[in-house]
Amino acid sequence: MPSWIDGQPMELLSVKDRGLAYGDGLFETIAVKAGNPVLLERHMARLGGGCVRLLIDLDLALVRAELLAFSRELGDGVAKLIVTRGDGLRGYAPPQPAIPRRILQGGTQPSYPACNAELGVRLFPCATRLAEQPLLAGLKHLNRLEQVLARAEWQDAEHAEGLMLDTSGRVVEGVYSNLFLLKDGVLLTPDLARCGVAGVMRAELLAQAESHGMRCDVRDIDLDGLRQADEVFLCNSLYGVWPVRALQRHQWPVGPLTRKLQAIARDLLDS
11 noted as active-site residue: no
Which residue out of 84, 140, 231, 258 is catalytically annotated? Answer: 140
Residues 6+ apart with CB under 8 A from 129: 146, 164, 165, 166, 167
Check 173, 189, 231, 258 and give the catalytic one.
Answer: 173
CA 210 from centroid of its chain's CA atoms? 21
Give 260's contacts (C-beta < 8 A, 6+ positions apart): 212
The question of whether 140 is a catalytic residue gets the answer yes
Measured CA angle at 162 (ends 207, 244), to 5 deg:
55
177 neighbors 242 (Cβ within 8 angstroms) = yes
Q: Which of 29, 84, 189, 258 is catalytic?
A: 29
- The Cα–Cα gap between 195 and 174 comes to 12
Cα(220)–Cα(170) distance, rounded to whole angstroms?
Answer: 7
CA distance 230 to 162: 20
How crowded is residue 250: how many other Cβ atoms within 10 Å of its Cβ? 15
Q: Cβ contacts of residue 203 below 8 Å, gap of 6+? A: 42, 46
Task: Give dist(CA 152, CA 131) in Å, integer.
Answer: 18
Q: State how far Cα 177 lies from the chain centre.
A: 6
Active-site residue set: 29, 140, 173
